[in-house]
């Protein structure tokens, strides 16, 4: 219990948040690295997932590739890339992109594929091109699953971005490794708590976004006028 008290004391000490190596700087670095990784992964995975979900082609290859990417150990891949490219952010970014792609790919692919085929056929029947069908019909309806994939990928990356400090002097992982080296376990715990707090904040924000983009079909159904089950009388029955 004393360790948590010491970690809280470290977190509430103003001097620990200032300077180039302070907690505030490390927190911003962690957030920037995570945002960079998720952005790169989204550029790769979302168009591919939308294409596969729209055309239905390459489904098996995408599933196998996503499964293979999930099986790759992030630290091992980071080490291999770092040995090839040297010290810096390249290794962590490559390893974390591989970690983030499967969730984004699955969200995009599953979201577009789940759109009702009747709705898509109706859009084509009114003269929409394939690009318009994707942009105006499939993507809006697939938005909840797309955001769900983004939510999962973001949490995975934020939690694992501490490994960026393995080869680069950035992020909250630097505080963790510095605490480990100096046997300052309160600093290690404080940095871990900051990662957890950042993940929870982003989880809350993305959960809200996912809720906002989810169609409120149940609300519409509740506001709809009920259909009467009493058969309408014929004119002769009314006059009788």
Domains of the chain: 23-215 (1.10.3720.10)
Q: What gap in Å lies between CA 92 and CA 171, rounded to an integer?
A: 11
Angstrom CA distances, 232 to 69, 103, 228, stand at: 61, 53, 9
Report pLDDT for 217.
52
> 114 with 139: CB under 8 angstroms?
no
Q: What gap in Å lies between CA 126 and CA 144, rounded to an integer?
A: 25
> 101 with 69: CB under 8 angstroms?
yes
Report pLDDT for 28.
95
Mean pLDDT, contiguous 10-residue spans, the chain (240 residues): 88 91 93 96 94 86 81 86 86 92 92 90 90 91 93 94 89 91 91 94 94 68 40 44
Give the total residue count for the chain.
Answer: 240
Report pLDDT for 205.
95
pLDDT in tens, 105-157: 999 999 999 998 899 989 999 989 889 999 999 999 999 999 999 999 999 99
Report pLDDT for 237.
45
Q: What gap in Å lies between CA 220 and CA 217, rounded to an integer?
A: 5
Report pLDDT for 1.
59
């Amino acid at each position: 219990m004393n360790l948590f008290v010491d970690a809280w004391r470290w977190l509430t000490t103003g001097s620990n948040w200032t300077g180039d190596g302070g907690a505030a700087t490390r927190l911003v670095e962690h957030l920037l690295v995570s945002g960079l990784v998720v952005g790169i992964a989204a550029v790769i995975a979302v168009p591919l997932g939308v294409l596969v979900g729209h055309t239905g082609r390459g489904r098996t290859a995408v599933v196998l590739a996503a499964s293979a990417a999930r099986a790759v150990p992030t630290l091992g891949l980071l080490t291999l890339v770092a040995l090839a490219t040297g010290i810096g952010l390249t290794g962590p970014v490559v390893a974390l992109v591989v970690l983030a792609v499967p969730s984004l790919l699955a969200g995009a692919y599953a979201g577009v594929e789940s759109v009702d085929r009747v709705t898509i056929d109706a859009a084509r029947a009114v003269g929409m091109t394939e690009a318009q069908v994707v942009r105006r019909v499939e993507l809006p309806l697939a938005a909840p699953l797309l955001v769900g994939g983004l939510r999962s990928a973001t949490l995975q990356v934020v939690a694992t971005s501490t490994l960026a400090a393995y080869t680069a002097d950035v992020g909250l992982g630097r505080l963790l490794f510095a605490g480990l080296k100096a046997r300052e376990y309160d600093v290690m715990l404080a940095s871990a708590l900051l990662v957890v707090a950042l993940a929870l904040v982003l989880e809350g924000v993305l959960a809200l976004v996912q809720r906002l983009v989810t169609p409120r079909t149940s609300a519409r159904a509740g506001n709809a006028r009920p259909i009467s089950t009493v058969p309408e009388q014929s004119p002769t029955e009314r006059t009788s």
